[in-house]
Amino acid sequence: MTHGIRFSQHGGSEVLEYVEVPTPTPSANEVLVRNQAIGMNFIDIYGREGLYPVSSFPSGLGTEAAGIIEAVGEDVQAFSPGDRVAYAQGPLGAYSQLHCLPAEFLIPLPESISFDVAAASLLKGMTVQYLLRQVHEVKAGDTILFHAAAGGVGTLACQWANALGARLIGTVSTDEKAELARSLGADAIINYTTEDVVERVKALTDNELCDVVYDSVGKDTWPVSLDCVKRRGLIVSFGNASGPVEGVNLGILNQKGSLFVTRPSLGGYADTPSRRKAMAAELFDMIERGAIDVQINQRFALSEAGKAQDALMQRRTTGATLLIP
């Protein structure tokens, strides 16, 4: 037997239970990983709440962790017991001591990358990779607005954009978060609780506005994002922290200046083993070169997953949050 988080209905953090479960057995193309560190992400909360429905109850939760392979299925040839690996996609169930998943989702973990760093950065880092390198190839001189710049994705984006020579304007909710984002390479920071984001963007850009707006907040920031992007600019809506953007009137894209908008996801870009490995390799290279310092600012025991998710939802966290089995 082993332990993991399970939930039997959608709802608040109180539906999460730390329970004893049978030890999984890998099928032909699967591996069994003993997690050493587990990444926590907003998408986990979407699953718990029902925004992204689960297939059946009781259900596991989470898709990101790093650990050591304990067993492999009979058809698995690329991995062996004892290998260090990380993963950020695949079936729910990463909130556990042991997780069984298809081998195709595994990323070999270099010795230079610790389990904690991998679990804190793989999903978020591959997200930043597709945002800055694929959805829009950020270039030196670009001006971008990044909402939630002090969060897990935002702290990586500040550093990656800085390494690319772009000017990143970030939004945050506290002065402490502003200081963190600025220390990681953000060119300018807007505290949206005390400042008018649109007016500050206009002032910071001499009314030129931004080439791209990256918005993981959703409903609350959608109107702001529309007013911060320049004519023929791009809005990348890639999250729903405040709720999904609904009822979008395409005509407003014309009215605001022939704007472009996209709603990407990691699964839409890291959709094959080769793409996953290439994206992870670029991330790991950035970490190994020192261009990215992964900010792990909260650690909770796996049994405290509900408490950890509440802290994330209440915006009491910065950088990455780990669950430790």
- DSSP lists the bridge partners of residue 262 as 236
Residue 209 is predicted with a pLDDT of 98
**232/71 Cα distance (integer angstroms):** 52
Res 109 pLDDT > 90: yes
Average pLDDT of every residue of the chain: 97
Confidence of residue 325 (pLDDT cuts 50, 70, 90): very high
* Confidence band, pLDDT 50/70/90 cuts, at residue 262: very high
Check if the beta carbon of residue 69 is closer than 8 Å to that of residue 103: no
Report pLDDT for 315: 87
Position 90 scores a pLDDT of 96
Q: List, as one string, the DSSP characters of 252-274.
A: HHHHTTS-EEE---HHHHS-SHH
C-alpha to C-alpha distance for 307 and 157, rounded to whole angstroms: 26
pLDDT, tens only, 265-313: 999 999 999 999 999 999 999 999 999 999 999 999 999 999 999 999 9
CATH superfamily of 2-121+272-324: Medium-chain alcohol dehydrogenases, catalytic domain (3.90.180.10)
Q: How far is Cα 222 from Cα 176, in angstroms, rounded to an integer?
A: 24
Q: Tell me, what's the pLDDT at 158?
A: 98
At residue 241, does pLDDT exceed 90?
no
What's the mean pLDDT in 240-252? Answer: 90
Domain 140-263, architecture per CATH: 3-Layer(aba) Sandwich (3.40)
**53: which DSSP letter?**
-
| Domain parsing of the chain, residue ranges | 2-121+272-324, 140-263
**pLDDT category of residue 128 using cuts at 50, 70 and 90:** very high
Contact 69, 107 (CB under 8 A): no
Amino acid of residue 202: K
Is the omega angle on the peptide bond into residue 22 within 30 degrees of 0, that is, cis? no
Fold equal for 2-121+272-324 and 140-263: no
pLDDT > 90 fraction of the chain, expressed in percent and rounded: 95
pLDDT at 247: 86
pLDDT at residue 302, rounded to an integer:
98
Predicted confidence (pLDDT) at residue 142 exceeds the cutoff of 90: yes
d(CA 158, CA 170): 8
Nearest to 281 by CA among 295, 294, 267, 270: 270
Tell me the CA distances in angstroms from 194 to 44, 146, 148, 205, 214, one per residue in order: 30, 17, 15, 19, 21
Average pLDDT of the residues in 181-208: 98
Contact criterion met (CB below 8 Å) for 145 and 217 = no
Residue with tokens 């067993």: 71
